[in-house]
Structure 1
Amino acid sequence: MELPSWEDAKLGTMKRAALWLVSVVGEGNVFTKADLRDAFPGTSQIDRRMRDLRDHGWRLDTNREDARLDSHEQRFVTRGAAVWEPGMARVKSAPAISANRRREVISRDGNLCRCCGITPGEEYPDSYEKAQLDIARRTVAQPGGGTAIELVTECKRCRVGGRDLEVDGGKTLASLSRLGVMEKKILASWVAADQRDFGAVELLWAQYRTLPEESRLRFRAALDRATE
């Protein structure tokens, strides 16, 4: 089916912006604020109408979600509802998270990324980049069946990798029942402290896992010699 022209002035601004993304930018590609304003000269609130597409399932990443982007860039990742079709512009996805709700979730989650544990403003170990926290919607399989969307705090790096992640709450609870009494006590102490201190062997294992293949081979050879 042939798409309407994004230059058709009879269409609303949001519909034209969606068609421009599909027809001109293309999924996976980057566009700038200047590109957007050049395409829609004199159009008021074009930035807001572009953001409105997120409410219809369109994924537009900024440098908050994709660290490779500059502050003036966005990436058109995937298209959502065909808002230019009759009735589709009124069908919205999940409502936006309010500023108050965002603060509540971040505070509830200990003011840190629940995936990697980094705190806002803290530098990542491999760079001088400072972490920013945001709220992710996570699909969670429920113990009684079905799924629910729950909110969790993540840094922008972890959000990129975990955007489509679905977790199984029922499976997690079932795994708990298989632990021994001592293992449950150890786990309970970690949960109570909301952190776990890793031992020297575990830290070294984590470092080993990040090595390229050639370095892993050298490490294994040294370990074999040390354990003969």
Structure 2
Amino acid sequence: MTMPSWTDPKLGTMKRAALWLVTVVGEGNVFTKEDVKTAFPGVSQADRRVRDLRDHGWQIDTNREDAYLGPNEQRFVKQGSPVWEPGKGTRPGTSITQTRRREVLAGDGHFCRSCGITPGELYVGTYETAQLDIARRVVKQPNGSGKTELVTECNRCRVGGRGTAADLGALLAAIAALGSLERRMLAEWVGEDKRDFSTVERLWAEYRTLPQESRSKVRETLALLVP
């Protein structure tokens, strides 16, 4: 099928934006919000239509996913569904009812299942508070099929985890391979749906988040303290 022109005014903005990314920007290249405004003058929320492409499998990264990007830059990483083709530009049925949303939040304990933060809690070292939302996560089943399930995540983890998938089959196989003592320990954590980390483990997790320069200072301090 011949690809239509991104300048065709008969197409919707999202379809035109998809064609513009493919034919003008190109996969792997960077564009800015100003580029979008220039390409679609007088079109309201054109940048939002670009973001809507993510619901159709398009990977468009911001500086949250790609540290090399500036605050106003985005990278067109990978094309998704050809939304300009008939029947492929319909927005997926992604709406979640308020009842279902409450059920997922309650089932997940009202905290982010990725990092454990609770709503309104400050991210460490910032004045930014966490907001919880419902994310869709593809889970690879033991039979090899993929199933989309709902999970509670904070605004940071939801953006950073977009497009990732969990492997339930591999997890179950790893659990089966555990020794009896480790399996009982894991069963207790799963039963309580929480695990209390030791001071050393918390310090290790904090160390892992530091920039390289600060990690070097930690190593130097430990070299002096540990005989």
Question: TM-score normalized by structure 1?
Answer: 0.72
1:5 paired to 2:40: no
1:181 paired to 2:183: no
From the superposition, tell whether residues 60 and 171 of structure 1 become closer, same or farther in structure 2 (CA, over 3 Å).
Answer: closer
Q: Please state how far the C-alpha of 1:157 moved relative to its aligned partner.
A: 1.6
From the superposition, tell whether residues 163 and 47 of structure 1 become closer, same or farther in structure 2 (CA, over 3 Å).
Answer: closer
Q: What percentage of residue pairs aligned between the two structures are identical? A: 53
> 3-state DSSP class of the match of 2:156?
helix
- Contact 1:17/1:49 (8 A) holds in 2: yes
Q: Please state how far the C-alpha of 1:150 moved relative to its aligned partner.
A: 1.9
How far apart in 2 are the matches of 1:65 and 1:111? 25
Alignment-mate amino acid for residue 16 of structure 2: R
> 3-state DSSP class of the match of 1:138?
strand
Structure 2 unaligned spans of 5+: none
Structure 1 unaligned spans of 5+: none
Q: Please state how far the C-alpha of 1:110 moved relative to its aligned partner.
A: 1.2
**Quick check: 93-102 or 196-205, which moved more?**
93-102
> 3-state DSSP class of the match of 1:203?
helix
Q: Which residue of 2 aligns with 1:39?
A: 40
Query: How large is the RMSD of aligned CA atoms in angstroms?
Result: 3.8
- Contact 1:119/1:131 (8 A) holds in 2: yes
**Quick check: 116-125 or 178-187, which moved more?**
178-187
How far apart in 2 are the matches of 1:12 and 1:146? 34
Alignment-mate amino acid for residue 81 of structure 1: S
> 3-state DSSP class of the match of 1:128?
coil
From the superposition, tell whether residues 111 and 63 of structure 1 become closer, same or farther in structure 2 (CA, over 3 Å).
Answer: farther
How far apart in 2 are the matches of 1:64 and 1:210? 15
Alignment-mate amino acid for residue 209 of structure 1: R
Q: Which residue of 1 aligns with 2:226?
A: 224
From the superposition, tell whether residues 22 and 208 of structure 1 become closer, same or farther in structure 2 (CA, over 3 Å).
Answer: same
Spell out the pairing of 1:163-174 with structure 2 (5 A cutoff).
163-174=162-173
Q: Which residue of 1 aligns with 2:93?
A: 95
- Contact 1:57/1:93 (8 A) holds in 2: no
Q: Please state how far the C-alpha of 1:91 moved relative to its aligned partner.
A: 5.6
1:66-100 per-residue CA deviation (whole Å, 9 max, x = no partner) reads 9x998xx7946444223334x2x436575213243
How far apart in 1 are the matches of 2:158 and 2:45? 27
Q: Which residue of 1 aligns with 2:136?
A: 137
**Quick check: 138-147 or 125-134, which moved more?**
138-147
Q: Please state how far the C-alpha of 1:203 moved relative to its aligned partner.
A: 2.1
How far apart in 1 are the matches of 2:176 and 2:218? 36
Alignment-mate amino acid for residue 80 of structure 1: G
